Amino acid sequence: MTTKPENDRVVIFDTTLRDGEQSPGATMTHDEKLEIAEMLDEMGVDIIEAGFPIASEGDFEAVSDIAKQAKNAVICGLARAQFKDIDRCWEAVKHAKRPRIHTFIGTSPLHRAIPNLDMDQMAERIHDTVSHARNLCDNVQWSPMDATRTEHDYLCRVVEIAIKAGATTINIPDTVGYTAPRESADLIRMLIEKVPGADEVVFATHCHNDLGMATANSLAAVEAGARQIECTINGLGERAGNTALEEVVMALKVRHDIMPYSTAIDTTKIMNISRRVAAVSGFPVQFNKAIVGKNAFAHESGIHQDGMLKNSETFEIMRPQDIGLAGTSLPLGKHSGRAALRAKLNDLGFDLADNQLNDVFVRFKALADRKKEVYDDDLVALMADSASEENDRIQVKFLRVICGTEAPQSADLILTIDGTDHQVTAQGDGPVDATFNAVKRLFPHTARLALYQVHAVTEGTDAQATVSVRLEEDGKIVTGQSSDTDTVVASAKAYVSALNNLIVRRAKTKPAEELKSA
């Protein structure tokens, strides 16, 4: 049975791999999910919601494998209020040292209408399904979806039913990002005061950011008695996203004077996992994002710079090192050796074996030959590219484009497909369009280009470009990303990366069960 945390201890429940991945286009590969789960475990996340096992065979396998590899974290799977969902969830998470079943049902008037259940019928289903989950697992979380728009009397009633049926954690979701801080606190406080048995369970808060208040709402709930925060790395999630893990954790750390609560998170690992989630999801972090944005510790104002030089605390409430950023960003160059590269990568949170370092070193030297100076962000982009699958079916071998004011623009491309080289020349409306047309001729497919995005890794005309490509085919959405000093080359590699991910998705995704309410 799960035990309640100490009164000043806040449990961090990360749902990047479940709610975060529901963001359209943020789908990760199996290996990427395992990698992110391992990073979450290492940084001290208490509970990892690894997925929705009944949604697909791929989701089931990912949750099951994450459960097997987890060293410290509780591994949780999501299940609707249906026996088949709960059974499937248990089959996936039972391999974990510390498994949890998270079951939910929508309790607001709008959500009750979907399965066409009246209040009594829904109450009975909650009792039966939570009881069923508890018979399988002694750690059960229950959520009344859209709790913030559920009638208070009915919310109290169903929370009491869930507790009596065996739920050990009661999560109160603001599913549509509707609430505000005072209301969020009042709701938690009311449930703790009114519901019999509330003192025996952990109350959790799950907030969405539709009105930009997810972090504030979560912290307000903690002050009212909630002791579990559900969140995601970078605030990843559907619509405007979820409460950002890095924001609530650093808020509790920096403002411990007014919020005397602690977490188990090693904050020095925040920046590295933020970058990795951004890379595998294809969702870059906005420059002015709190804590992990590129400009979070940048100062351009003359007054600010002068103050920073005299005392960094004048304009910084936390140190870059607190979240895993190096204090300085001294560049490397083509004369830098393996030892310097290893030291720099260690500073950035990458611990490489000798064979991995050798591979990255070759890529680093090739980049240093094209750039005078290689900065931290260049190395992060290089590591993201190095993490790509070495056994991809499709690889870019050669690309030459003709572009300029005189049409038509063309691309001469060689792709290695399943070990065999194929060459074609194609035209298009600009070099990138021509390149993508060439790829499609060599590897015909029906996927639609849903996103093409370019941003510079660093400043200067020799800066690397990081390109993200999102493809959609028959409801499947995949993302590819690559970096290069040549934007067109980066575009070709990102497009091919997305195609490789699509191939994997086709092979691993089996028809999901009908997600209809019983």
Binding-site residues from annotation for Mn(2+): 19, 206, 208, 242
Output the six-digit token pair for 256. Answer: 């411990």
Looking at residue 413, its amino acid is L
Beta partners for residue 104, in sequence order: 80, 143
Phi, psi torsion values for 442, nearest 5 degrees: -80, -30
Residue 310 exposure: Cα atoms within 13 Å on the Cβ side: 8
Q: H-type helices in 146-293, by residue range?
A: 152-165, 181-194, 214-223, 245-254, 270-281
Answer for the pair 491, 432: CB distance below 8 angstroms, yes or no.
yes
Nearest CA to 395 among 503, 278, 485, 496? 496
Looking at residue 459, its amino acid is E
Residues placed in the known binding site: 19, 206, 208, 242
Phi, psi torsion values for 373, nearest 5 degrees: -135, 135
Q: What secondary structure does DSSP assign to 435-462, as a single string?
A: HHHHHHHHS----EEEEEEEEESSSSTT
Answer for the pair 246, 254: CB distance below 8 angstroms, yes or no.
no
Q: How many Cβ atoms from other residues are within 10 Å of residue 460's Cβ?
A: 11
Output the six-digit token pair for 15. Answer: 């749902």
Phi, psi torsion values for 443, nearest 5 degrees: -135, 85
DSSP at 407: S
Nearest CA to 171 among 193, 195, 200, 140? 140
Strands 202-207 and 74-80, bridge-based pairing: unpaired
**Spatial distance between the Cα atoms of 276 and 299, rounded to a whole number of angstroms:** 25
Strands 465-473 and 448-456, bridge-based pairing: antiparallel
